Chain A
């Protein structure tokens, strides 16, 4: 006897524990197997690109915090780099070093969140998540020292950073670097050979290298697929050409590779931090830039390697005090376009794991 079965549609989200915000997926299922997937964006749309047109160039910086709210510093950096390129402003040496230090601390903090929530999606009941958050807390304390904020920093300024670091910052940073390195090694030891984790992530959700390039993926998602592409090396911005670090890549582009790339990137960020701490000069942290700048008519694009990938800003100036157009290239959105191709044929449990391995932030996807 053959049972008559038929596919059914399961609506996942927009409010669901594993959608990392408000993301909605309409999955067509055959039992547990996903036959089709229809991602629905836009539940967190706040019109940031339009809002940016109403504000002065300096006033846009707090808006960029709200894009990838897990990694505000790198968003700030991408925007101020673009405006500096547009207006031809040069930045003091010390400010460049501070920007690199903050970016790399931010990368570690964001990857800790990504890895932690990825394990939560795998079903490890909050334990790895909270351990990762405990380490992230140290970095939040450092950010708290420099700008008084723990999530949305608003630290970068056009022509430098908002203020110099306090005296207690450097000793605390020097203490935290070996601490976090030890903790990352410890967690990696616990997790990288866990049999259930291997069974759930290895060979699951393979993103082929060609597809990754075609969809414009970037960041750990692209590097997990074996592509050695990092804006910090490929198109060095700020002062990244002064530091030595490696670009970790995955082998076959499965969820496990993406997780390994993130762990390795944290170690490389610690290397950069050590070099930056040793080299940082004294001096000004902000160029003499007026509050209301009027860049010459024209347009500029600048991009940085954010934790999720390539964050780029395309700013068009019409010579007034506000940008005429401010387009944001959001890596989370680009990476997500591969989701449907990767998920078809996998089970609904894999759907959550594959989706989690992208480590997207909805604030950036919907803008």
Chain B
């Protein structure tokens, strides 16, 4: 046993992360899963870019890329080659170090998050007992990268886009975390593997319909998908925080953007749609199918809805989503107190009724805010 082996297995023991049926304390486990995580993210990004481009085209009554390879599946690769050959431009007034570092800071967290995502029972890099906390903490890092990019490129459009992004992420982190807390209460664990195992009977989307909606909406805002894509806002800020970027650095932002979309889809699929659970198909395939279903819904909303204004975005988070998330957490806690052990299935219609009533009430009390804003 080499020193490296000892270090790895020591780390594993320390993290108490030996999955049930996976040889997690072997050094090659780390190696294999590092490769799997990176490859999974990169391949999924290519897949979702294809889904996005063809999906948007389908919604917008056009064809989309269909020339590169069969049905245009190689378009993302062709774009990658094109972008690699482009000139890398650095603005003369840019803060060079920060400017060069920002794309990596945006993209790296998306790969890191897959360390705690189970591809099947226990098949994950590290079954952290604080998995959900890890996901929330790491996914916020890319915001720093976005702000670094916006600040360092010394461009007013970039700065505006970056400021909008920070404001949006800070606001939407609240409802997102609170809606995830409901799932954690139900599963009784912060480990993503335990949460998936707890969904063996029914996926949490039926136990927590409101939580799912909140996470989906909040997640769309956090990763800046339409209708909350204010940090890019192509019709206002040209390209937002990455206006000045070109070549491979731009490609890193592009990858990071879709990587975040993959991450958010994965988290939603894992927490609410039962992760790898499912009949007939192999578990990893179920996970991919669920990720793509969630992502397709995001494409759908992007193709359908106009963009909200920045003050409406904030008001929506604080006045609509945040109270609903608090009430959702309270209701979930009360249900768990009322029925110790497994929740009976007849509370599912009750939960849907509560969700409908709360959304109706919220929409009556809350208006997005027409009219003039105060200077």
Identify the A interface with B (CB < 8 A): 8, 10, 16-18, 30, 32-33, 35, 119-127, 129-131, 134, 194-200, 202-204, 345-352
Contact = CB atoms under 8 A, between A and B. Distances in A.
B49 interface: no
B61 A130 contact: yes
Contact of A349 (B236, B238, B305, B369): B236
Contact of B306 (A16, A33, A35, A119): A119
Contacts of A123: 226-227, 229, 233, 235-236, 306-307
Contact of B235 (A8, A17, A199, A204): A17
B234 interface: yes
A30 B375 contact: yes
23 contacts: A10-B160, A16-B238, A17-B234, A17-B238, A18-B235, A32-B160, A32-B164, A119-B306, A121-B235, A123-B226, A123-B229, A125-B60, A125-B302, A131-B60, A196-B307, A196-B308, A199-B369, A200-B312, A345-B372, A345-B373, A346-B373, A347-B311, A352-B235
Nearest to B62: A130
A125 B234 CA distance: 9
Nearest to A198: B370
Nearest to A123: B307
A125 B370 contact: no
B375 A18 contact: no
A346 B227 contact: no
A227 to B, nearest CB: 22
A349 to B, nearest CB: 5
B60 A33 contact: no
Contacts of B371: 203-204
Chain B interface size band reads 35 or more
A48 to B, nearest CB: 29
Contacts of B370: 198-199, 202-204
B156 A194 contact: no
Contacts of A134: 61
Given A130-B60, A200-B308, A195 B236 contact: no
A12 B233 CA distance: 14
Contacts of A17: 234-235, 238
Interface of B: 56, 59-62, 156-157, 160, 164, 226-227, 229-230, 233-236, 238, 302-312, 367-373, 375
A33 B310 CA distance: 11
Contacts of B305: 124, 194, 196
A348 B373 CA distance: 12
Contact of A127 (B233, B303, B373): B303
Nearest to A206: B372
A202 B312 CA distance: 13
B368 A199 contact: yes
A349 B302 CA distance: 18
A196 B308 CA distance: 6
Contacts of A30: 375
B48 to A, nearest CB: 16
A203 B236 contact: no
Contact of B308 (A33, A199, A352): A199
B51 to A, nearest CB: 15
A345 B311 CA distance: 14
Given A33-B375, A199-B312, A349-B309, A127 B304 contact: yes
Nearest to B370: A203
A200 B306 contact: yes
B310 A349 contact: yes
Contacts of B312: 199-200
Nearest to B302: A125
B372 A203 contact: yes
A196 B60 contact: no
Contacts of B311: 32, 347
Contacts of A125: 56, 60, 226, 302-303
Contacts of A35: 375
B214 to A, nearest CB: 17
- Kindly name the residue among B59, B62, B235, B371 whose own CB sees the greatest number of chain A CB atoms within 10 A: B235
- Kindly name the residue among B160, B227, B307 whose own CB sees the greatest number of chain A CB atoms within 10 A: B307
**Closest 10 A/B residue pairs (Cβ):** A123-B307, A199-B368, A122-B306, A124-B306, A203-B371, A203-B370, A130-B60, A127-B60, A18-B235, A123-B306
Given A119-B306, A200-B306, A203-B371, 4 more contacts: A18-B235, A123-B233, A125-B303, A127-B303
B233 A347 contact: no
Contacts of B229: 123
Contacts of B372: 203, 345-346
A130 B304 CA distance: 12
A199 B309 contact: yes
Nearest to B373: A347
A346 B311 CA distance: 11
Given A32-B310, A127-B60, A346-B372, A352 B236 contact: yes
A60 to B, nearest CB: 36
